[in-house]
Each structure stands twice: as structure tokens, then as C-alpha cells.
Amino acid sequence: MGLRSFGVEEELLLVDPESGAPRAMSGAVLRRARLQGEGLHASPLVDGGIGSELQREQLEICTRPCTTLEELAGQVRHRRRTADRAAREAGVRIAALATSPMAVHPSLTPRDRYRRLADQYARVADEQLICGCHVHVEVSSPEEGVGVLDRIRPWLAPLLALSANSPFWQGRDTGYDSWRWQVWQGWPSSGPTAVFGDARAYRDTVRTMIATGVLLDEGMVYFDARLSRTYPTVEVRVADVCLIAEDTVLVAALVRGLVETAARAWRAGEPPDPVRTEVLRLAMWRAARSGLRGPLIHPTTWRPAPAGTVIEALVEHVRGALEGSGDLAAVRRALRSLRVRGTGARLQRAAHARSGRLVEVVRDAVARTV
């Protein structure tokens, strides 16, 4: 395979421009987006666009498949601007926040599947006003895709740390940089996975999970990384939605680098790290707890290490792939920028420290989102 195509889905909050509170306005915003020719299409990651999500206080934007970082950056910024224009016309704004800093009781989007989710999962579904960033990267076959899934497992926690953007929940600082990750763990199928070995084992696992009756359908297989049901892609789902569009592109570049690196290792017959899922879950918790502020679990030693050391190890791990795609210099520039200004969690806390008011956190996020 040549340069792999990739794209992203970003979930965004709809907020009141004055109070900062989430507003259940997705229907009105989507009507205006459709008038602009920007509604979500039947194949979102083919055509791009804007669509609804589980709660009426949020939207999803999708890029088209891209091959360069410049193209992806342009797509992300365009989709954010378009969504914000439609939101403004409906009297709200968009904010790339993975959780709402303001207290909120979200309201379900009136679709049959979402009603079934609410009936089945009760309070877990009620609390899912959270926004993630999902990165899709092209693979040549399900076998290659599962080979990739088995080999990227150790490196997903650092992506969460880089993207951490949800320190506040229901009006309080949680102490976590990614509280979204904690809320997401309420779903019965979320989190890291064991090594599958091949595509047949992956499909058998999914079929068995659905046969338990606990999951509604395959769409509820909420692994940290999975094969897409719709596209010939691996979908990596660990990241918070990033406050800064540049960080979304950085995460996507690293994910594509991980996929290419893992695919090369799979083709060469190199075995995946057999690290247990229990250890992977601890690494994810560590990344969610302190983001880049504290130590992370190093993906080769499985011992604590400074966050900067772990992020550098990630870049070195995918260096060959980044050089092959011409992305290495851009990734290093983006990482330098991120280190200087901080993650979304750091920026949110800084906005709160300046004013002591959560509404100012939201207003600052609205400005940074677009």
C-alpha cells in the first residue's frame, strides 16, 4: 500500500454563548447545515459533513478521506467553521470540549436506536454527554487490520494523554485530565482488547459478544481500536476531542504512523507485544488521570516514566512511517507547540484560574475551537 488515506470524526458540544451551558439544539443546527449543503451524508467518511449524536447537546463532524496532513488540517478547520456557522444561526456556538464544564442534564436525540440504548443502559446512557475524536486509517484487508489492532495496543494510552481535554464535570474539577475516559468506561464493551491473532478470531469475538444479548449490535463494540463496520479502515477511538484543531491533526498523524508501523511488522511476521489487557487498562487510567502533567506508563517497559520520555518513544516507534509519509517534521513542530501551550485540559484550567468562573472556560473554548 502507498500512502494510507485517513480521516477523523470529531464530536462537539453545542453551548449557549452567554451562559456557557450546553443547549439541546442539534436539530435546529442540522437544519441550517443542510440548507448550506453540509448535512451528514450516507457515507460520512467518504463525503464528510455534520450529523447528530447520542445527545441533542452535541454534533459530529466528519472529514473526507485525506492523504496529507495539510489536506486533513484544512478539512478539520472547514468542518468546524461550517458547524459553527450553522450553530450561530441557531443561536448557539460549538465548543471542542470532551465534557461540559457546566452542570447539565443531557437530552436524548429522538432516534429509535438511541431510545433502545437509553432503555438498556439506563444511567450509563444518561451520562454520555462526552465528545471524542475517532481516527480512521485505511487498511488493505481485515487480516491486515487485525494485525494492526494487535500491534498498536501498547501505544494508545499516550494518544489519550496528548488529547486530554475534559478536566471538569458537572461544575467541578475532577482532578483528571480526561474525565471523558472515566465516563466512557461505563459501557460494557469499552476499553483495551487482548491479542486476536487473525480476522476470524476478531469476528468470532464480536459475534459472541453480540450473542450475549448485552450489546444491541456491532455498532456497540466500543473497543479502544476496532475494525470499522462500514469502511476498509482501522478506527482508533481513544482520544478526547481536541480543543485545538492542530492537535487533532497531530493525533491523526501519529495514528496513521502507528497503523503503518504495525502493518509493516505484521507483514514481516513480527509478533505483537503479549501485554495483558489488565496492564493496558492501567496505562489508560494513568494517561486519563494526569495527561502530560505527570508520569505515563512506558509502552516497552511497563513502568512509570516521564510523559515527555513516553511521547518521544512513541515518535521514535513510528519514525520510519512518519519519514515515509513526509510527516515527521510537522509532527515534531506540533508536539513543540503542544508542550508550550499545553493540552486542552491545561488550557481549560488556566482559563478557570484567570477568572474563577466556568463560563469563561467555555467562552475561551468557543474561541479556540474555530
pLDDT at 215: 96
- pLDDT > 90: percent of the chain: 95
Q: Is the Cα torsion angle 207, 212, 217, 222 positive or negative in sign?
A: negative
Residue 1 covered by a domain: no
Domain housing 290: 6-369
pLDDT at 93: 98
Give per-residue pLDDT as tens, 59-107: 999 999 999 999 999 999 999 999 999 999 999 999 999 999 999 999 9
Q: Are 192 and 153 in contact (CB under 8 A)?
A: yes
Q: Are 159 and 236 in contact (CB under 8 A)?
A: yes
Give per-residue pLDDT as tens, 258-288: 999 999 999 999 999 999 999 999 999 999 9
pLDDT at 40: 60
Residue range 159-174: average pLDDT?
98
* Residue ranges in the chain assigned as alpha helix (H): 26-35, 44-47, 69-89, 112-121, 123-126, 142-152, 156-163, 179-184, 199-211, 245-267, 277-290, 307-317, 319-325, 328-341, 344-355, 358-369
Residue 119 covered by a domain: yes
CATH number of residue 249's parent domain = 3.30.590.20
In this predicted structure, the answer to whether residue 319 has a pLDDT above a threshold of 90 is: yes
Residue range 115-144: average pLDDT?
97
**Residue 92 CB partners (closer than 8 Å, separation 6+):** 14, 15, 16, 17, 23, 25, 29
> If you write DSSP's letter for every residue of 3-29 in order, what string do you get?
SPPEEEEEEEEEE-TTT--B---HHHH
- Number of compact structural domains in the chain: 1
Residue 318 covered by a domain: yes
pLDDT at 13: 98
